[in-house]
Amino acid sequence: MTLVRIVKDWDWPDIMRQTPGGKGVWDDVCFTTGEVDECDALLVLNNRMKQEVRAVCPRGRVWALMQEPYHRGFTDWMVEGLDVFARVYTNYVPSGDPKYVISHPAIPWHVNRTFDQLTTQELPEKSGTLSWVVGNCRDLPGHLERLAFLRRLQMERDIPADLFGRAVRPIEDKWDGLAPYRFSLAVENTVADDYWTEKLADCFLSWTIPIYHGCPNLAQYFPSEAFISIDINKPCEALAVIRKIVKDGASEWERRLPALHEARRLILYHYQLFPVISKLLLLEDGLSEERSLVIVPPYKRSLKARFRRDIAKIRKLIRCAKGIL
């Protein structure tokens, strides 16, 4: 059985719950987050480790998977310090180097459910029409656009929406803010091809149609009837779409249910982390099995990246001074 070591810099959510029985096995591949000395492949989730990583493995199977959008001054680790990696799977390709391969981020879902629970879960009762689980981050322009749209939505008395999240009403389990509802707003912090996150996936897993702002080429991944696109930077048009959805309610959700079932299946069996990596290993099966010690150094910002970071901080302070935050 092929052994893949996963290296990450966060503890939650527990990614192993996305495998059958929580055993960390998918097809004929065993995954571990343990610090094993030897493995068949080494996968680093993002390139921002603070400590050195060592493993004996084939150099052609030292990979990075980027799970954030690229923003100069914030995620420069996506474009520098990558010499050790034979493949970089990313939604942002910084050069023509063939090591860079376009990929969606395969971010873990955030609803507090295991793979086994989700694959056996019956369709929940849909007693509500519209919700939004919204965060309170303010670092990127997209964060501010999202909060501005939240304020605009709160002013619309004819659009009844139940709001949850750190920005309004915290909840312990995101499932509770999605599963009882037919529709929910899902607004990414960045609009970029191939970049979609748990904001979308959590809706699908909860049998909830996302009213979605984000990834322009999303229909290349999911049936177009499984989601409803809006542009929050055109608030009047976006609110008109939402009003119609609220008015149509149950009938619109039922019409889209077959597409929603397919989108849900794609998340569980195709687009989540473990089937993604298992498939990539099959595609790279012809690589040399010769092993050697691989050292992944901790990420340190270059002088250029530090300068970009300082500029980004200054811009944020300016926004604060203008009252945008």
- Kindly state the DSSP code that residue 269 receives in the 8-state scheme: I
270: its two tokens: 């195709």
Report residue 232: phi and psi, to 5°.
-70, -15
Range picked from 85-94, 135-144, 275-284 for highest mean pLDDT: 85-94
- Is residue 225 a contact partner of residue 249, using CB atoms and an 8 Å limit? no
Which residues touch 157 (CB under 8 Å, ≥6 apart)? none
For residue 145, pLDDT beyond 60? yes
Token pair 């092993």 is found at: 291
Side-chain half-sphere CA neighbours of 10 within 13 A: 11
What's the pLDDT score for residue 51? 95
281: its two tokens: 């290993």
Residues 195-229: pLDDT tens digits? Answer: 999 999 999 999 999 999 999 999 999 999 999 99
pLDDT confidence bin for 324, thresholds 50/70/90: low
241: its two tokens: 């779409």
12: exposed, middle or buried (C-beta count within 10 Å: 0-12, 13-18, 19+)? exposed
For residue 325, pLDDT beyond 60? no
Walk me through the domains of the chain, giving residue ranges and CATH numbers: 2-107+272-314 (no CATH), 115-271 (3.40.50.11660)
For residue 239, pLDDT beyond 80? yes
pLDDT confidence bin for 27, thresholds 50/70/90: very high
pLDDT confidence bin for 317, thresholds 50/70/90: confident
Average per-residue pLDDT in the chain? 95
Side-chain half-sphere CA neighbours of 257 within 13 A: 11
Which residues touch 124 (CB under 8 Å, ≥6 apart)? 179, 180, 206, 207
Report residue 140: phi and psi, to 5°.
-105, 160
Closest residue by Cα to residue 147 from 163, 159, 123: 163
